[in-house]
Amino acid sequence: MVKYYLDTCIWIDFFEDRKGSKGEPFGEFASRLLTKIQKENNQIMLSDHLLNEFKRGFSLSSILHILDSLQIEMEGFSYSISQDAEAQRLAKDKNVPFEDALHAILARDSNAILVTRDKHFKKLSSVSNPFKPETLI
């Protein structure tokens, strides 16, 4: 079974069916990746950190409704104090947002493929190699 850790931007692409600045179908790419994950019986890792970011723009009930409708195996988990401390150091060293550093660490520690289109993750490739959805479908 392959595990995937989708960054918040990928989930928002999916939820809002977003397009890129040049009309790229980001929402469609996210949807196709989720379909692939479901068809191949793979798993999505959901951290409490990710869910907290979701709640900034969506209600918990709408998030849970959408996640339940996907019919994909998901595993939720919490991050540790040591992961938080590592993310703080990494964010400072690499000059990236703490949230992104923590996502990279959580993807690494859960042995999951990190899916994002956020450019900050290029600076974090030594922790977890980032992939765009369209490269995985």
- Indicate which CATH number applies to the domain containing 81: 3.40.50.1010
Cα distance between residue 99 and residue 89, in whole Å: 12
Mean pLDDT of 38-65: 89
Residue 59: the pLDDT is 84
* Weakest mean pLDDT among 5-14, 42-51, 66-75, 115-124: 66-75
Nearest to 111, CA basis, from 8, 38, 4: 4
- The domain of 66 spans 3-136
Task: Look up the pTM and report it.
Answer: 0.93
CA-CA-CA-CA dihedral for 40, 54, 110, 29, to nearest 10: 40
Tokens representing 122? 């290029």
Count: domains in the chain = 1
Nearest to 102, CA basis, from 117, 118, 80: 80
Q: Residue 9 — very low, low, confident or very high, per pLDDT cuts 50/70/90? A: very high
